[in-house]
Amino acid sequence: MKQAFDLSVLVKNSGEWLKGTGPESDIVISSRIRLARNLAGFPFIKKCSEDDRKKIERQVRTRLEALAGWDDIQYVDIDSLSEVDRQFLVERQLISREIAESEGSRAVAIDPCEQYSVMINEEDHLRIQVMHSGLDLVSAWEQIDKLDDAIEGELLYAFHPRFGYLTACPTNVGTGLRVSVMLHLPGLVITQQIEKVFRSMQRINVTVRGLYGEGSQYTGDFYQVSNQVTLGHTERELLTMVGEEVVPRIIDYERKARDFLMEKGEQDLLDDVSRALGILSTARKISSEETMHYLSKVRMGVNLGLIDDVEVATINKLFIHTQPAHLQKLQGRMLTTSDRHIERANYLQRHLRDSGSLPDELN
The annotation places the binding site at 30-34, 127, 178-182, 209-214
- Characterize the bridge pairing of strands 28-37 and 116-120: unpaired
| CA–CA separation, 324 and 12 (whole Å) | 15
Cα angle 21-148-27, degrees, rounded to a multiple of 5:
20
Beta strands per DSSP E along 191-322:
206-209, 222-227
Cα–Cα dist 29/239, whole Å: 17
Q: Could you tell me the CA-to-CA distances from 7 to 91, 92, 339 in Å, in that order?
A: 13, 11, 22
Alpha-carbon distance 75 to 60, whole Å? 11
Query: Rounded CA gap, 354 and 348, in Å?
Result: 10
Q: Which residues are annotated as a binding site for ATP?
A: 30-34, 127, 178-182, 209-214
Say how many C-beta atoms besides its own lie within 10 A of residue 112's C-beta: 14
Cα gap 302→270, rounded to integer Å: 10
Rounded Cα distance between 357 and 350, Å, is 11
Question: How far is the CA of 198 from the CAs of 2, 120, 202, 203, 207, in angstroms?
Answer: 43, 32, 7, 9, 8
